[in-house]
Amino acid sequence: MEYFDNLRRDYTMSRVVFYHRRFKVLQIGKSSYVVVRKNTPNYSEHSHLSSLHGAISLIRLLDHGLMPHSDYLRESARRLLRDKEFSKLKVLS
Protein backbone atom coordinates (compact mmCIF):
# COMPACT_ATOMS: atom_id res chain seq x y z
CA MET A 1 0.00 0.00 0.00
CA GLU A 2 2.93 2.33 0.69
CA TYR A 3 3.92 2.07 -2.99
CA PHE A 4 0.53 3.41 -4.10
CA ASP A 5 0.63 6.20 -1.51
CA ASN A 6 4.02 7.31 -2.89
CA LEU A 7 2.73 6.99 -6.44
CA ARG A 8 -0.34 9.09 -5.63
CA ARG A 9 1.88 11.76 -4.03
CA ASP A 10 4.16 11.84 -7.09
CA TYR A 11 1.16 12.30 -9.38
CA THR A 12 -0.08 15.30 -7.42
CA MET A 13 2.96 17.10 -8.89
CA SER A 14 1.83 16.23 -12.41
CA ARG A 15 -0.50 17.65 -14.99
CA VAL A 16 -2.99 15.99 -17.30
CA VAL A 17 -1.90 16.40 -20.92
CA PHE A 18 -4.33 14.05 -22.68
CA TYR A 19 -7.77 12.54 -21.99
CA HIS A 20 -9.43 9.78 -23.97
CA ARG A 21 -12.45 7.79 -22.82
CA ARG A 22 -11.15 5.40 -20.12
CA PHE A 23 -7.63 6.82 -19.87
CA LYS A 24 -5.66 9.95 -19.17
CA VAL A 25 -1.98 10.79 -19.59
CA LEU A 26 -0.11 12.61 -16.86
CA GLN A 27 3.15 14.41 -17.49
CA ILE A 28 5.62 13.84 -14.67
CA GLY A 29 8.59 16.19 -14.90
CA LYS A 30 9.84 17.31 -18.29
CA SER A 31 9.85 14.08 -20.29
CA SER A 32 8.12 11.31 -18.39
CA TYR A 33 4.51 10.27 -18.88
CA VAL A 34 2.13 7.96 -17.08
CA VAL A 35 -1.04 6.51 -18.57
CA VAL A 36 -3.66 5.89 -15.90
CA ARG A 37 -7.13 4.48 -16.03
CA LYS A 38 -9.72 7.11 -15.14
CA ASN A 39 -12.04 6.70 -12.18
CA THR A 40 -9.96 4.23 -10.19
CA PRO A 41 -9.52 4.66 -6.43
CA ASN A 42 -5.73 4.34 -6.68
CA TYR A 43 -3.15 4.28 -9.43
CA SER A 44 -2.75 0.51 -9.58
CA GLU A 45 -3.80 0.56 -13.25
CA HIS A 46 -1.01 2.64 -14.73
CA SER A 47 1.98 2.47 -17.05
CA HIS A 48 5.08 4.64 -17.44
CA LEU A 49 6.12 5.79 -20.92
CA SER A 50 8.93 8.02 -22.12
CA SER A 51 6.97 9.99 -24.71
CA LEU A 52 3.56 11.57 -25.09
CA HIS A 53 3.33 10.16 -28.61
CA GLY A 54 3.91 6.64 -27.29
CA ALA A 55 1.31 7.11 -24.57
CA ILE A 56 -1.32 8.34 -27.03
CA SER A 57 -0.48 5.55 -29.49
CA LEU A 58 -0.94 2.95 -26.76
CA ILE A 59 -4.32 4.40 -25.79
CA ARG A 60 -5.47 4.41 -29.42
CA LEU A 61 -4.42 0.78 -29.91
CA LEU A 62 -6.33 -0.24 -26.79
CA ASP A 63 -9.33 1.80 -27.87
CA HIS A 64 -9.40 -0.14 -31.15
CA GLY A 65 -9.01 -3.47 -29.32
CA LEU A 66 -5.53 -4.17 -30.70
CA MET A 67 -2.61 -5.78 -28.90
CA PRO A 68 0.63 -3.77 -29.10
CA HIS A 69 3.59 -5.48 -30.82
CA SER A 70 6.39 -4.59 -28.39
CA ASP A 71 6.82 -6.54 -25.17
CA TYR A 72 6.96 -3.33 -23.13
CA LEU A 73 3.69 -2.00 -24.54
CA ARG A 74 2.02 -5.41 -24.13
CA GLU A 75 2.92 -5.30 -20.45
CA SER A 76 1.63 -1.72 -20.34
CA ALA A 77 -1.66 -2.90 -21.83
CA ARG A 78 -1.87 -5.73 -19.28
CA ARG A 79 -1.38 -3.25 -16.45
CA LEU A 80 -3.97 -0.80 -17.77
CA LEU A 81 -6.71 -3.26 -18.63
CA ARG A 82 -8.69 -5.70 -16.58
CA ASP A 83 -8.02 -9.39 -17.28
CA LYS A 84 -11.14 -9.86 -19.39
CA GLU A 85 -10.41 -6.72 -21.45
CA PHE A 86 -6.79 -7.76 -22.02
CA SER A 87 -7.75 -11.25 -23.17
CA LYS A 88 -10.06 -9.77 -25.83
CA LEU A 89 -7.32 -7.75 -27.56
CA LYS A 90 -6.69 -8.81 -31.15
CA VAL A 91 -3.15 -9.76 -32.14
CA LEU A 92 -2.21 -8.58 -35.61
CA SER A 93 0.50 -10.46 -37.49
What range defines the domain where residue 14 resides?
Answer: 2-80
Residue 74 within a domain: yes
Residue 89 within a domain: no
The whole-angstrom distance between residue 93's C-alpha and the CA centroid of its chain comes to 23
Residue 90 within a domain: no
Check whether 32 has a pLDDT greater than 60: yes
Residue 25 within a domain: yes
Quick: pLDDT tens for 41-87. Answer: 777 789 999 999 999 999 999 999 999 999 999 999 999 999 999 99
pLDDT at 20: 93
Number of domains in the chain: 1
d(CA 34, CA 36): 6
Residue 50 within a domain: yes
